[in-house]
Amino acid sequence: SDFSPSFGNGEYSELYFISSREGGLTNKKDGRAGECFSDIWFSEMNKKGSWSRPVAMTEPINTEGNEGPVYLNKRGTAMYLTQCKVERKKNLGCGIYVSERKGRVWGEPQLLQVKIDGSSSIGHPTLNHDETVMIFSSDISGGYGGKDLWITVKQKRNVWSDPMNLGSLVNTPGDEMFPFLADDGTLYFASNGHVGMGGFDIYRTSEDENGAYIGPINLKSPINSFGDDFGMIVGKNGERGYLTSNRPGGK
């Protein structure tokens, strides 16, 4: 599986994505998925517009557990990533971490302090342009079932406010995942709970004048298909983007 791309800089010439292909940090198989544990991979565009052969990131970004999805700020100096820790074949759940880059070296990821109940996992971070607001996906209590989208506001370094649910117009008894905040404030996400074309579909929504998210719009064909469509990202002018799909015609 190759999924959930993320722009690596403001020029959109770097792309990070998640993959369970062999050649990552470990070729051990995740018993639940039947594939290798997912790692974060990196590619960059050359002057001719072609993407380089992807390379897996090294420790401490990738670990022996599952990584991803990720979000990078426009300067490419901070990476917010989902890491699912594993110790002695025991899954410790997933959390959101931040790593800062100095030069070409990424620092040890630091766990973001977001108040959740102990048995829940959080992941799939997306942030606004100044990194003060974060939306993520989680099954924490108080939602509408499955995984919901939640919003939190930065209070101080790595410490965030109590999460607020995005509400019943956005969230459903199904799963809402893979959010992406575009520069214009549009929120793209994937859901298998809204009436769609099949599997996960991609939707967009935005805030009203009171800061509440309005009813989502299904992006329909050709963005969505009868397969799973998710992990969409869009450039600053809204004219170009990338998405993940398992529709026929892929590898």
Q: Side chain identity at 122, as an amino acid letter?
A: I
Question: Model confidence at 91, in pLDDT bands (50, 70, 90)?
Answer: low
pTM greater than 0.85 = yes
How many C-beta neighbours within 10 Å does residue 211 have? 7
Give dist(CA 5, CA 186) in Å, integer. 17
For residue 211, is pLDDT > 70? yes
Burial class (CB in 10 A: 0-12, 13-18, 19+), 183: middle
* Whether residue 26 has pLDDT greater than 90: no
Find out whether 138 and 122 touch, Cβ atoms under 8 Å: yes
| 121-174 confidence digits (pLDDT tens) | 899 999 999 999 999 999 999 999 999 999 999 999 889 999 999 999 999 999
Tell me the mean pLDDT in the region 187-210: 96
Better-scored residue on pLDDT, 31 or 44: 44
Bridge partner residues of 90 (DSSP)? 87
- Higher local confidence (pLDDT), 218 or 119: 218
Neighbours of 10 (CB within 10 A): 16
Contacts of 97 (CB under 8 A, 6+ apart): 80, 81, 82, 83, 109, 110, 111, 112
Q: How confident is the model at residue 93 (pLDDT cuts 50, 70, 90)?
A: confident
Q: Going by C-beta distance under 8 Å and a sequence separation of 6 or more, which residues neighbour residue 230?
A: 3, 4, 177, 178, 190, 200, 202, 243, 244, 245
Binning pLDDT at 50, 70 and 90, where does residue 181 land?
very high
Q: What is the mean pLDDT of residues 214-221?
A: 97
- What percent of the chain clears pLDDT 90, i.e. is strictly above it? 80
* Block residue for tokens 């509400």: 167
Does residue 27 register a pLDDT over 90? no
pLDDT band at 35 (very low <50, low <70, confident <90, very high): confident
Per-residue confidence at 118, pLDDT binned at 50, 70, 90?
Answer: confident
